[in-house]
Structure 1
Amino acid sequence: MRRLSLSGRLALLFAACTAAVSLGAGLLFNHASEQHFIELDQQLLESRLSLLRTQLSGLEHHADLEARLPALHTELSHQADLALRITGSDGNLWYASRDALPEAPAALGLATVHGNGIDYRSLAVQLNSEARLTLYLDITHHQHFLQGMQRLIWLTVGLSALATALLGAWAARRGLRPLRQMGQVAASVSARSLTTRLPEAQMPEELAQLAGTVNAMLQRLDDAFQRLSAFSADIAHELRTPLSNLLTHTQVTLTRPRSLEEYREALHGNLEELQWMAQMINDMLFLAKADHGLLVPGQVTLALHEEVDALLEYYAPLAEDSAVQMLREGEATLQGDRHMLRRALSNLLDNALRFTPAGGEIRVTLEPAVRICVANTGTAIAPAALPRLFDRFYRVDPARREGSSEHAGLGLAITRSIIQAHGGSIRAQCEGGWTRFVIEFSENR
């Protein structure tokens, strides 16, 4: 079955609410009218009763009634819808002004009785210990009025529900126009039109927040798509040069017969390029896992100062060759994955060694908070380039954009992924002749 639209649901809800309110109001008015007629009938019966009491005062026996009948007939003739019934204390009928009157109710007071197809309002009183008087008022015209009003109530309820359903459908459809606009925008979104945005200023207050959320989602999708497109282009760019080198080298080698040693040297050259390509592919797979939240670091208590000292010892020969001084300050412990954190710190130290001039200094500072700072002296980096240092394949020096068998520009991106997997953050700073990479871990991680 086709699901009912939101406009249809609102229209039915409006109609149901209107019908309920109209029905309640109609029933209340009907009850009030009925009570009003009862009060009027009671007042009329009580006014006639006072006159009849006077005429029937002193009535003790059935025989005493004969002399009073002419006066009773005269009084009753003034109102055709009024009837009277007198019974004795033993229940025997003494007098009835009209045939086929219903039996008097057992209880005294006002009551509604039915007889011979006619509705009566009755008022029963005890004249004295020997006689009981019951007045009957024909209320058929009252009942006809109430029945007509009930039919009018049902007709009003039906018509008002129908009118409200039609008007509600129109109002709901008009009010939900912004939602249809949102649907049209969502339907028009594709890889080529991620720049489309919803007009938040033109949206109702209830939908403005939703429109803002959708726009933010589209912006994130646009950013992710742009990064993916740039990443794909960078991959193709980075792999193009080594593949071209391999093809050219192989083709040149095969142009003429060569000695075994020359073939060996050609294969060694190709092996270096292939190893670099394999490493870059492994790094891209690592980053892909990080993007999908598949990096699950181990939780081992690490003495960071010991890990840093081990890395500094490893890089000491390179630092001596470059006349660069390396030192570590402070101590800290952290729950994390030893292999991942060593890789992240190794990337930072390798990066620092490459860009620290001869006679420069690399300083690793540890704070118990936990905060790690890897700083090196060297050429200042432009402020606009600092946020992009962690982008994949990004290099500060444009001259190094071509594919290289040394560095693909993925080290800092991998470092950031590892730090984020451990619940930390990393940022770059450059001031006072120092370039600093600051890592901070949350204390509640």
Structure 2
Amino acid sequence: MHRLSLSSRLALLFAACTAVVSLFAGVLFDRASEAHFIELDQQQLETRLIGLRRALQDIQPAQRDARLADELSRQADLSLRITSGDGQHWYDSSAKIPKNLPLQPGVSTISTDGTDYRVLRASLYPDTADSPQLTLLLDITHHQHFLQRMQRLIWLTMGLSALATALLGAWAARSGLRPLRRMSAVARGISAQSLNARLPETQMPPELAELAHSFNAMLVRLDDSFQRLSAFSADIAHELRTPLSNLLTHTQVTLTRPRPLEDYREALHSNLEELQWMAQLVNDMLYLAKADHGLLVPKREALELADESDALLEFFAPLAEDAGIELSRDGQARIDGDRGMLRRALSNLLDNALRFTPAEGYVRLSIADQASVVRVCVENSGEGISAQWLPRLFDRFYRADPARQEGSSEHAGLGLAITQSIVRAHGGQIHCESEAGVTRFVIELPRT
């Protein structure tokens, strides 16, 4: 089924609302006009009734007809019927008076032979039980014709108003929805090469300004994600190019001429190191891909962070001793988490800290059990990290050290990205602070 456009829906809605309002107003006016005419007719009939009672008071029967004719001659559209108390006809002022008239007292409306009457039936002598009955008939055909013309005018006005409102509504809706068409045009023009297009938020109506802001924010996120994805692809190619080139070159050189068995064994061992590094790189990338798709689900077991940290410090102690770096730990806390994943995250941070801490420096791991979170800090002395690099420290393949921008078989720039994924999988956050010769990586994990 063909769906109506938003402009058409608004136009039809405007037309329907106008028709309902016009109909309601017309019905009210019609009812008010009819009630007004009834009130006027009732007042006129009651006035004539008083005059007739006065005229017939103490009058001789021989003079009755002449007196009634004189009274009724003053109003041509008024007729009179007089009946006795037992219902016998005494007097009809006109031969056109209908035979069957209402018997109940008061005002009523009848229609006969194309003529409409307002009828008032009352006693000639109100205080007498068997008093003759007066029935006054007022011809109101012209009133009814007026009300019928009014009804036709109401329907005509309602139709024309609905049509005019539909046309004006369609124009107004089309004009009002112009910003949406502009957004649609921008959306159609978006591609991988034009993610920098933006909507002019200041020119949008207040109702669409928030939508335009959200749309622009989405484009910013898409642009940033696409740039990161492009950089990620380039970084992967860059990281794999060096080991592959080494493997190819080493293998080609080895095969240029016959060599002793020991040379071939040494070449294979050298190639094995490069292949192991490439395998580790691929495993790390798969690990991050699982984290991106929410497949990195940590096991939950009670852990003493002090014990886990001491075990890692014991592992890194020989390396720190050789480099003349002081290792220390303070504080303790208990948390539910995955032992292997948390050890990997802390190991990555400690490895980074040791690599960038000068001799006679220190690496300190501190644990603080706070009200709502467990705070773990890995702090090291040495040259700080520039503020311009801090926002990208956790990007994949990103290295803040300019001396390590080329591919390496030791560090591919995935350690901090993996650490961030592990922390987020545990529902925590991680950030870096660097100032006054001290660099500090802070992990905040939900408290058990």
Shorter chain as normaliser: what TM range?
over 0.9
- For 1:289 and 1:65, locate their aligned partners in 2 and report how far apart those are by CA, in whole Å: 117
| 1:196 maps onto 2:212 in alignment | no
- 1:295 is matched with 296
Once the two structures are TM-superposed, the CA of residue 350 in structure 1 deviates from its matched residue by 1.2
Once the two structures are TM-superposed, the CA of residue 328 in structure 1 deviates from its matched residue by 1.1
- 1:106 is matched with 103
Once the two structures are TM-superposed, the CA of residue 69 in structure 1 deviates from its matched residue by 0.5
Q: Check conservation: 1:100, 1:116, Cα contact below 8 A.
A: no
- 1:71 is matched with 67
Once the two structures are TM-superposed, the CA of residue 47 in structure 1 deviates from its matched residue by 2.1
- For 2:53 and 2:410, locate their aligned partners in 1 and report how far apart those are by CA, in whole Å: 126
Once the two structures are TM-superposed, the CA of residue 110 in structure 1 deviates from its matched residue by 1.2
- 1:419 is matched with 423
1:291-338 CA-to-partner distances (Å, cap 9, x unmatched) read 222211122111000001111111222222222221211111111111
Once the two structures are TM-superposed, the CA of residue 108 in structure 1 deviates from its matched residue by 1.0
Q: Check conservation: 1:88, 1:130, Cα contact below 8 A.
A: yes
The secondary structure found in structure 1 opposite 2:439 is strand
Q: Check conservation: 1:374, 1:438, Cα contact below 8 A.
A: yes
- For 2:62 and 2:80, locate their aligned partners in 1 and report how far apart those are by CA, in whole Å: 15
| 1:12 maps onto 2:16 in alignment | no
Moved over 4 A (4+): none
Once the two structures are TM-superposed, the CA of residue 91 in structure 1 deviates from its matched residue by 0.9
For structure 1, list consecutive stretches of 5 or more residues without a partner in the other structure: none
- 2:55 is matched with 55
Q: Say which is worse superposed, 168-177 or 280-289, in terms of deviation.
A: 280-289
Letter in 1 for 2:46: E
The secondary structure found in structure 2 opposite 1:390 is coil
| 1:389 maps onto 2:386 in alignment | no
The secondary structure found in structure 2 opposite 1:256 is coil
Once the two structures are TM-superposed, the CA of residue 195 in structure 1 deviates from its matched residue by 0.6
- For 2:253 and 2:379, locate their aligned partners in 1 and report how far apart those are by CA, in whole Å: 45
1:110-162 CA-to-partner distances (Å, cap 9, x unmatched) read 11122232110111110133311111011111111111111011000001000
- 1:95 is matched with 91
Q: How many residues align?
A: 440
Letter in 1 for 2:235: D
- For 2:443 and 2:241, locate their aligned partners in 1 and report how far apart those are by CA, in whole Å: 34
Q: Check conservation: 1:324, 1:359, Cα contact below 8 A.
A: yes
| 1:207 maps onto 2:211 in alignment | no
Once the two structures are TM-superposed, the CA of residue 187 in structure 1 deviates from its matched residue by 1.2
Q: Say which is worse superposed, 23-32 or 337-346, in terms of deviation.
A: 23-32
- 2:350 is matched with 349
1:240-299 CA-to-partner distances (Å, cap 9, x unmatched) read 111111111111111111111111111111110010011011111111222222211122
- 1:3 is matched with 3
Once the two structures are TM-superposed, the CA of residue 65 in structure 1 deviates from its matched residue by 3.9
- 1:374 is matched with 378
- 1:168 is matched with 169
- For 2:384 and 2:13, locate their aligned partners in 1 and report how far apart those are by CA, in whole Å: 68
Q: Say which is worse superposed, 36-45 or 168-177, in terms of deviation.
A: 36-45
Q: Say which is worse superposed, 313-322 or 164-173, in terms of deviation.
A: 313-322
Letter in 1 for 2:320: A
- 1:24 is matched with 24
Letter in 2 for 1:413: A
The secondary structure found in structure 2 opposite 1:310 is helix
Q: Percent identity?
A: 68
- For 1:433 and 1:147, locate their aligned partners in 2 and report how far apart those are by CA, in whole Å: 96
Letter in 1 for 2:39: E
- 1:119 is matched with 116
- For 1:429 and 1:152, locate their aligned partners in 2 and report how far apart those are by CA, in whole Å: 80
- For 1:316 and 1:276, locate their aligned partners in 2 and report how far apart those are by CA, in whole Å: 24
The secondary structure found in structure 1 opposite 2:388 is helix
Letter in 2 for 1:424: G
Q: Check conservation: 1:303, 1:332, Cα contact below 8 A.
A: yes
- For 1:330 and 1:265, locate their aligned partners in 2 and report how far apart those are by CA, in whole Å: 48
CA distance 1:65–1:285, shift in 2 (3 Å): farther
Equivalent positions of 1:229-308 (< 5 A) are 229-308=230-309
Letter in 2 for 1:114: S
The secondary structure found in structure 1 opposite 2:240 is helix
- 2:223 is matched with 222
Q: Say which is worse superposed, 365-374 or 335-344, in terms of deviation.
A: 365-374
- For 1:3 and 1:221, locate their aligned partners in 2 and report how far apart those are by CA, in whole Å: 31
Once the two structures are TM-superposed, the CA of residue 100 in structure 1 deviates from its matched residue by 4.2
The secondary structure found in structure 2 opposite 1:85 is strand
Letter in 1 for 2:122: V
- For 2:359 and 2:142, locate their aligned partners in 1 and report how far apart those are by CA, in whole Å: 117
- For 1:182 and 1:66, locate their aligned partners in 2 and report how far apart those are by CA, in whole Å: 95
Once the two structures are TM-superposed, the CA of residue 66 in structure 1 deviates from its matched residue by 4.3
- For 1:152 and 1:432, locate their aligned partners in 2 and report how far apart those are by CA, in whole Å: 87
Q: Check conservation: 1:101, 1:115, Cα contact below 8 A.
A: no
For structure 2, list consecutive stretches of 5 or more residues without a partner in the other structure: none
- For 2:42 and 2:219, locate their aligned partners in 1 and report how far apart those are by CA, in whole Å: 76
